[in-house]
Structure 1
Amino acid sequence: MRIPRPVVRSLVTVTALGAVLSGCRGHAGTAAGTDNPDAVLRVVTTTEILADLVRQVGGERVQVDSVVPPGGDPHSYEPTPADATAVSKADVTFTNHLLLEEHALIKTVDANARKGTPNVSLAEASETYGAHVIPLVEDIGLDVLWLGLRVRGEGESRGATRSSDVLLSATDVRGPGDLVAYLTESLGRPEIYFNSADGLSAEDTTSLPPAAHTHLNWAFTKPGVYEVSLAAKLRNADGTTQPVGTGTFTFAVGVDPHTVAGPGDTVLDNGHTDLTVNIDSGRMSAFTDLRTEGKAQEEIPPGDVVIDVPNRTLERIPAQKRFAFLGKPGAEVYQLPQAVLGKHVHGEIDPHLWQDVRNTKSYVQLIRDTLRKEDPDGADRYTSNSRRYEQRLDELDTYVRRQVGAIPSGRRQLITTHDAFGYLADAYGMTVAGFVVPNPAQEPSADDVGKLSRTIGNLKVPAVFMEPNLVQRATVLNQVAEDQHVKVCTLYGDAFDDDVRHYTDMMRHNADALRSCLGGAQK
């Protein structure tokens, strides 16, 4: 029995939003800005952090509104018709992108930004201003394969834009039992992608943006050899679709994969692999880091891989009703875990560039030049505002570097609720240790908690860190911190709150918290 779900996980569409625009008034319901009657330009940003940067450069000549509300998570925020109205009235729109924002939000911006107005993706365009981008390398360290779904390529020759979707469907599952591929969201709610228990149909489809990746669980009800066929279609902003690839992948469930693999085949049994469609080449592959030690990935054709689902992946189905789609409570399934708790769609580049203050200077310079072009009369004001703020950012960068530098080198380890601090670690000499709940379909077991406890103990960290807007995801972190008698401190990643309303305050807080909580020398 399946839990109900939409045919394809819904995204806000141009048609749906366009139908309500004429009936909406006012700013985005989530806007954090204050009305400025003297403003020359009306600017909408996707996040509060970007809105703050625009205000620093624009001063009184701009009215700035943020779509994502105070304390909101840009990774998951679903836009409203009022947000679409605000975008449609903006003279300039700034997004971060690199898949930071929920895809529905990007679609809303692109569908409603007025023709001829700047619609700037700061993270992507800031490289030309000297910003440093780093790959988003996920080293989870599971003892089984971590298997996801991925879209590679830009699809420009097929008419794709950042508002396009790639529809990935399971078209056939051959084997002794059933396959259920599903995601466990951050509060434990499952979202089914594919379920062969009652036959496959158009419902067994999920969607990803171009150049995106997602995690999920892969559960099989019986041991044996399975062949799973996938098909991909590109859906452009005008609603038209076109096929972009098919492939059939072999799974060895509870049996020796080497008896299934043929000469020259690769057994995928650890590391990070995604079943991938390349929308430029039209080919499917297993995109894996198995043989590259996490430093790079290679594409292997579907017919040349066997995916190992070993007996140690056996898990008992929880008694909660929300997991009834897997079978009877207490029955066993073979399950490759999604590893990272909650929905986590991202690309190959870490989008959190502002955690390196030097990157924020590139954002500010790009904002300055965009505003100058749209409002030439204010060019001198934007230039002088930018120059003053860049000086403050230079001082801030020095401050963060000094604070982190005071932490003993052996204690510069970050254990957090969210992988948002790669740039901070890279720029200021820290390491992101992270943590894993190996099977987020269930409450963390004593073994799961034990593994995290050992990680904290081995690293001898005196503190772990949570983000104010992600407190609900920090249950395990809080429990282990209490058991290990380490502090729980706050780091700001994607959002402000009532205590921190400016980027410079956010980064100073982060620097102070790192030094104080990780045992830096006294000031």
Structure 2
Amino acid sequence: MTPRTPYPRGALRTLAATAVLALGLAGCEGHARPDAAAENPDAELKVVTTTEILADLVRQVGGDRVQADSVVPPGGDPHSYEPTPRDAEKVTEADVTFTNHLLLEEHALIKTVDANAREGTPNVSLAEASETYGANVIPLVEDVGLDVLWLGLRVRGDGEARGASRSSDVLLTATGMTGPGELAAYLTESLGKPKKYFDSADGFSAADTTSLPPAAHTHLNWAFTEPGVYELTLEARLRNGGAEPRPVGEGTFTFAVGVDPHTVADKGDTILDEGHTDLTVNIDTGRMSAYTDQRSRGEEQEEIPPDDVVIDVPNRALDEVPEEREFAFLGEPGAQIHQLPQAVLGKHVHGEIDPHLWQDVQNAKAYALLIRDTLKKADPKGARAYDRGARAYETELDRLDAYVREQVGRIPADRRQLITTHDAFGYLADAYGMTVAGFVVPNPAQEPSADDVEKLTRTIDNLDVPAVFMEPNLARRASVLTQVAEDQDVEVCSLYGDSFDEKTRHYTDMMRHNADELRRCLGGPDT
């Protein structure tokens, strides 16, 4: 795998906001293509995909022989979309289902697909199977430059020996805590509403549980009401389908909150105070650990047993309880708490591999070939038609790949810096010679502070970027970025990441727009 350039420490502080972005969209060249979501009563195959991007690829390969529909609607976010009963019914009617997976989609969506796909029909995870067709996969490297530890939860391993599948759930439950105050771990959802996972204030119970699929990771806020030493015990259980959960592992983690961690740590312990760490269960080995990149600087993480780490929550992590009553479980509004921030707004479950493969056009071509072979198996009589469709689309994708490469190549090398709404453009950077300089990560608990704005301003100024980029479906979260960009005389431009909108309905349109926008916004006066 080709490693990605890690984000420079100190790149972007967390932000939260709402805004409206006006978009200018580019046209597209290519062969006549099936209209997005057009009804096709004569189709031989009903195909259901999780995203509109995948549905478009199916239509280009399958032509009139397929009726392809996406579960996630236009402008929807596959990371967070919650399926409906009608979505489940749609899956049961499908002859073929395609997901991206690699934990791109919300776990509930994957479970809906797996539970309702008819027995004997193809149910293909394109990102995971496309490597055999030449797709290039790269690791998902996260570093948002926080000045405190970034702490999450993780499940390692696939658990096949325990009967697990991608639809299984790993339950992580807080079963005990000692300390001078209360501890709460919670998620801040996309619109700013908190969702409690663990809360010691009323004692731990079965309600203090969250779940993750195998090989997944999520972000959380960790709040402590008083300084001192805390010990938190977590228990992991594996649930396959409707079976009773089975114990997997247990571990107790120590936090030094507002006190010198060296006075807490034993000789040989590792003090975790920077970078990215997850409290982790390995469902293959049954071991709990702190899975951290602190000593390897983001290149390769390591598992450290819970008894051998102390998690530092320093006084610079002091924060105030927001005024909104939804945050009352943290204390009185304005009260000071120590908090390790979530860093990325909203539910953000993912794995160790970047799932956004289609941002490299050659990967989209691998998807198309895998789609071709899947359709041929489901509909052998249409084999020639699928071969013809795939050949024509391959030719179009090769032209598209050359076009993107040409447009980015006309950008001066020192201007090929991407600051984007969220971390969806690693493949674009890796394939076409750009650098992901940072991504906008909204503040999980409150409006951005003056310090947040100052750090963002400094990042834009230090990199000397002429533009920053937002995804159309995430534009409402970016008013602070917009304001800072205006203050710095930096243009705000648009890139499509995970989804289409009402104006852009085809993958080739999307990538041509991205290439044109990159060149227009970063290219400089002589390009």
Q: TM-score range by the shorter chain?
A: over 0.9
Residue aligning to 2:393: 389
User: C-alpha distance in 2, partners of 1:328/1:495?
Assistant: 40
Is 1:416 matched with 2:427? no
Is 1:450 matched with 2:489? no
Residue aligning to 1:346: 350
SS at match of 1:207: strand
Is 1:164 matched with 2:168? yes
Deviation at 1:440, TM superposition (A): 2.3
Is 1:239 matched with 2:243? yes
Cα pair 2:152 2:220 within 8 Å, conserved = yes
Residue aligning to 2:475: 471
Select 2:114's aligned residue among 110, 117, 127. 110
Aligned ranges 1:48-63 → 2 under 5 Å = 48-63=52-67
Cα pair 1:142 1:438 within 8 Å, conserved = no
Cα pair 1:231 1:245 within 8 Å, conserved = yes
Query: Structure 1 pair 469/196, CA: closer, same or farther in 2 (3 Å)?
Result: same
SS at match of 2:105: coil
User: C-alpha distance in 1, partners of 2:238/2:125?
Assistant: 22
Is 1:297 matched with 2:321? no
User: C-alpha distance in 1, partners of 2:193/2:443?
Assistant: 13
Residue aligning to 1:484: 488
Deviation at 1:32, TM superposition (A): 6.0
Letter of the 2:436 partner, please give it: V
User: C-alpha distance in 1, partners of 2:177/2:81?
Assistant: 34
> What TM-score do the two structures reach when normalised by structure 2?
0.92
User: C-alpha distance in 1, partners of 2:329/2:483?
Assistant: 30
Select 1:217's aligned residue among 221, 229, 235. 221
Is 1:76 matched with 2:99? no
User: C-alpha distance in 1, partners of 2:429/2:343?
Assistant: 22
User: C-alpha distance in 1, partners of 2:354/2:447?
Assistant: 29
Q: Which has the higher contact order (CA 8 A, sep 6+)?
A: 2
SS at match of 1:426: helix
Query: Structure 1 pair 396/436, CA: closer, same or farther in 2 (3 Å)?
Result: closer
Is 1:203 matched with 2:172? no
Deviates more, 1:120-129 or 1:311-320: 311-320
SS at match of 1:419: coil
Select 2:522's aligned residue among 514, 518, 521. 518
Cα pair 1:32 1:70 within 8 Å, conserved = no
Cα pair 2:421 2:440 within 8 Å, conserved = no
How many residue pairs match? The answer is: 493
Is 1:139 matched with 2:122? no
User: C-alpha distance in 1, partners of 2:525/2:384?
Assistant: 43
Deviates more, 1:158-167 or 1:432-441: 432-441
Letter of the 1:225 partner, please give it: V
Select 1:314's aligned residue among 313, 318, 335. 318
Deviation at 1:319, TM superposition (A): 1.6
Cα pair 2:173 2:234 within 8 Å, conserved = yes
Cα pair 2:189 2:345 within 8 Å, conserved = yes
Letter of the 1:106 partner, please give it: I
Is 1:356 matched with 2:352? no
Residue aligning to 1:507: 511
Aligned-pair RMSD on alpha carbons? 1.3
Residue aligning to 2:277: 273
Select 1:46's aligned residue among 43, 50, 60. 50
Residue aligning to 2:267: 263
Residue aligning to 1:92: 96
User: C-alpha distance in 1, partners of 2:474/2:518?
Assistant: 18
Cα pair 1:44 1:51 within 8 Å, conserved = yes
Cα pair 2:420 2:440 within 8 Å, conserved = no
Residue aligning to 1:22: none
Deviates more, 1:95-104 or 1:35-44: 35-44
Structure 2 residue ranges without an equivalent (≥5) = 1-34
Residue aligning to 1:282: 286
Cα pair 1:338 1:438 within 8 Å, conserved = no
Select 1:372's aligned residue among 361, 370, 376. 376
Letter of the 1:279 partner, please give it: I
Cα pair 2:417 2:465 within 8 Å, conserved = yes
User: C-alpha distance in 2, partners of 1:328/1:58?
Assistant: 59
Cα pair 1:151 1:210 within 8 Å, conserved = yes
Aligned ranges 1:16-55 → 2 under 5 Å = 33-55=37-59
Query: In the TM superposition, what whole-angstrom CA distance separates every residue of 1:125-158 from its partner, at most 9, and x where no partner exists?
Result: 0011110000000012111111000000001111
Query: In the TM superposition, what whole-angstrom CA distance separates every residue of 1:423-448 from its partner, at most 9, and x where no partner exists?
Result: 00000011112245585211100100
Deviation at 1:36, TM superposition (A): 1.0
Cα pair 1:339 1:436 within 8 Å, conserved = no
Letter of the 2:366 partner, please give it: S
Cα pair 2:422 2:441 within 8 Å, conserved = no
Query: In the TM superposition, what whole-angstrom CA distance separates every residue of 1:457-490 from its partner, at most 9, and x where no partner exists?
Result: 1001111111111122212221211221211111
Cα pair 1:255 1:310 within 8 Å, conserved = yes
Select 1:403's aligned residue among 395, 407, 428. 407
SS at match of 2:88: helix
Query: Structure 1 pair 172/63, CA: closer, same or farther in 2 (3 Å)?
Result: same
Cα pair 1:182 1:191 within 8 Å, conserved = yes
Letter of the 1:202 partner, please give it: A
Deviates more, 1:310-319 or 1:438-447: 438-447
Cα pair 1:435 1:452 within 8 Å, conserved = no
Cα pair 1:166 1:233 within 8 Å, conserved = yes
Query: In the TM superposition, what whole-angstrom CA distance separates every residue of 1:149-207 from its partner, at most 9, and x where no partner exists?
Result: 00000011111111111111111110101001111122211111100011111111111
Letter of the 1:452 partner, please give it: L
User: C-alpha distance in 1, partners of 2:499/2:437?
Assistant: 22
Identity value in percent: 78
Cα pair 2:36 2:506 within 8 Å, conserved = no
Residue aligning to 1:152: 156
Deviation at 1:518, TM superposition (A): 1.0
Residue aligning to 1:120: 124
Letter of the 2:468 partner, please give it: V
Letter of the 2:471 partner, please give it: E
Letter of the 1:327 partner, please give it: G
User: C-alpha distance in 2, partners of 1:440/1:80?
Assistant: 27
Residue aligning to 1:426: 430
SS at match of 2:201: coil
